[in-house]
Amino acid sequence: MATVSEVSKAAQTRPVLAKPGKFLTFKLDNEIYATNIMKVREIIGVQPAIRIPKTPSFVRGIINMRDRTIPVVDLRMKFDMEHKEDSKHTCIIVLQVLSDERIVTIGAVVDEVSDVLDLTQDELQPAPQFGSALDTHMIIGIGHTKDRVIMILDVDKLLSSEEIFSLKDATQQTLAQIRSQQQA
């Protein structure tokens, strides 16, 4: 059986995958998360989404943003958190993620956007290991400031390639149905 110091030593030898830089922080429930600011295209108010049939419960649907249709996922639902009604602080972070070497735009519903932090290497630690039973591959580090602990996410890993491409297919099918109904 490993001692506490051996476990601590193993944690220290894991690499910090998050790189120092600017991060957009946001809240889900009472937790603070962050993503690299370079992945963020914009932040918009929450708006009604057109539900896409046969998609996972964490998919809110699609929205029209300046004549572009983007799928929107609810991060509370994706992270298996309790459902919460939208508030005046709820918003959508529009992200550009890399999937199979293609850039895809998605929206992520969060409880509230906090601020932009500039984290140094000294403020970053490796992501915790919870064992193989928990899927934490999208957490690439922990940020520590004097008053906060922040989970840093790799938004490229929020959705699998299969989820992204099935969303794109479902979005195209839904748009085709809407257009045919409008022409009828």
CATH number at residue 49: 2.40.50.180
Q: Which of 75-84, 87-96, 101-110, 174-183 has the lowest mean pLDDT?
A: 174-183
Q: Is residue 10 part of a domain?
A: no
One-letter amino acid for residue 174 of the chain:
T
Number of domains comprising the chain: 1
Domain residue limits at 84: 15-179
Lookup: tokens for 60? 């809110």
Determine the residue type at 152.
I
Query: Does some domain include residue 9?
Result: no
Weakest-pLDDT range from 65-74, 145-154, 163-172: 163-172
Q: In this structure, is residue 120 part of a structural domain? A: yes
- Whether 32 maps to a domain, the answer reads yes
The pLDDT confidence band at residue 10, using thresholds 50, 70 and 90, is very low
CB 106, CB 97: distance < 8 Å: yes
Question: How far apart, in whole angstroms, are the C-alpha atoms of residue 40 and residue 30?
Answer: 22
The 8-class DSSP code of residue 129 comes to P
**Residues 85-136: tens digit of each pLDDT:** 999 999 999 999 988 888 889 999 999 999 999 999 999 998 877 654 445 6
SS3 113: strand
> Residues 171-177: what's their mean pLDDT?
73
Distance CA(108)–CA(79), nearest Å, equals 12
Q: What is the pTM of this model?
A: 0.82
How many angstroms separate the CA atoms of 49 and 64, rounded?
8
Do the Cβ atoms of 99 and 161 come closer than 8 Å? yes
In a domain, 5, yes or no: no
What whole-number distance in Å separates Cα of residue 148 and Cα of residue 145? 5
Distance set, CA 70 to CA 3, 27, 76, 92, 129 (Å): 49, 22, 18, 11, 33
pLDDT at residue 134, rounded to an integer: 45
Within a domain: residue 134? yes
Sign of the CA dihedral running 27, 129, 18, 160: negative
